[in-house]
Amino acid sequence: MNSRVVVTGLGAVTPLGNSVEDLWNGLLAGKSGVGTICSFSTEELSTKIAAQVKGFHPEEYIDKKTLRRLDANEQYCLVASQAAYDDAGLQSDGLDLDRCGAVIGSGIGGIKTFEDQHQILLERGPKRVSPFFIPMMIIDMCAGMVAMRFNFRGPNYGTVSACASSAHAIADAFRIIQRGEADVILSGGTEAAVTPLSMAGFCSARALSRRNDEPEKASRPFDRDRDGFVMGEGSGMVVLESLESAKARGARIYAEIIGAGMTCDAHHITAPLPDGNGAARAMQAAMKDADIKPENVQYINSHGTSTGLGDVAETKALKTVFGTHVRSLVINSTKSMTGHLLGAGGAVESIVTVKTIQEGKLHPTINLDNPDPECDLDYIPEGSREMKVNYGISNSFGFGGHNISLIFAAHNSA
């Protein structure tokens, strides 16, 4: 018999603040985390805005010697992981550390380190490249660092599927605990890709919004005047735990994760299937896994990137999956305020889905001033709402055609 899996801890570093409380309050208030990039020159870039982490002080959590050996994506991850660990009330002397693990995703990894060390190679030669270059760059090192911090000796690895990376990490952690192979897993994702090379690449692909004069209004999912996504950065981490372990510890339970569905478009390197078929099949697979019907679902935390093709495809997918019930769904886009955290997006949005279920509050989708006629569902455009949510779906779709849907539910002890 499969173990039930619950969420007992949450941690976040985001453009809206460096705690789950700051993230959640900012979202309910309709606050944008997007602004002008000030960490490097954007003179030659067509996009000069991003949703950057602000007021981040990792030295409060990580010693200075270690900090110098960590890329920003690893720093974000360790701080968010510590917050989730503390929030869950975990203590090493009360855990079987051989049955505790870390599964953490990132779409790009330590790209700032890559850029910096490549410059050193060109200017000063190979002997001056840092001996920490590789561990600062590779994506799996986030999971490794978390394991070392907490002495978690169970399953440990990284997931990479572009913007679906952290949602895949959470799905994998869910399965591992469900199968009885672990009791506790810290899972989620991290990204620190607001860098000159990364921004240049996305600009060349014409994927980013160019609304440089109005950064707070640049991310506008489902709006007729959207012109691309806004790059974001940060980390979201959750503690997933078997229900048996959580009960034995007397842990607070935020919600239960009950289903995951994964598909591929097999269509295009960046564009989704126009009819949203891959996304639709992911949601259907998740509901089959959770053993619930479409009419049981009340809430969708959409992928909602503010791209021309993506928002329409996701809307079509929702109509395919939910039929007439789609008009009863409430849907929002966290990215309207946080920007797109790439590989960390799914984890941050999973946290938001869990908080929505726990609090009975739904944040708005901001900047939805002129709805796209093809995006005609209830995206909560005019302020936050209160509503009891028993079942919520978090959608994440990545370059390469990766689709994943996670289902969270209100916890009952039955």
Indicate which residues carry an active-site annotation.
163, 303, 340
Report the first-to-last Cα separation within the chain, whole angstroms: 15
Report the distance separating Cα 141 and Cα 138, nearest Å. 6
Report the distance separating Cα 230 and Cα 240, nearest Å. 29
DSSP for 96-149? -GGGEEEEEE-SS-SHHHHHHHHHHHHHH-GGGS-TTHHHHH-TTHHHHHHHHH
Backbone angles phi, psi at 183, to 5 degrees: -100, -40
Under a CB-based contact definition with an 8 Å cutoff, are residues 404 and 257 in contact? Answer: no
Report the distance separating Cα 1 and Cα 72, nearest Å. 41
Under a CB-based contact definition with an 8 Å cutoff, are residues 208 and 26 in contact? Answer: no
Half-sphere exposure of 177 (CA within 13 A, CB side): 31
Q: Decide the pairing of beta strands 255-264 and 5-13.
A: antiparallel
The two three-digit tokens of residue 33, written as one number: 């985390």
DSSP structure class, residue 328? G
The two three-digit tokens of residue 299, written as one number: 């809430």
Backbone angles phi, psi at 309, to 5 degrees: -80, -40
Report the distance separating Cα 251 and Cα 88, nearest Å. 7
Report the distance separating Cα 385 and Cα 364, nearest Å. 8
- The total of other beta-carbon atoms located within 10 Å of residue 133's CB is 18
Report the distance separating Cα 350 and Cα 6, nearest Å. 13
Helix (H), strand (E) at residue 158: strand 156-159
Angle between helices 20-28 and 345-359 (to 10 degrees): 70
The two three-digit tokens of residue 279, written as one number: 């996304």
Amino acid at 196: P
Q: Which residue bears the tokens 């099949």?
A: 281
Burial class (CB in 10 A: 0-12, 13-18, 19+), 127: exposed
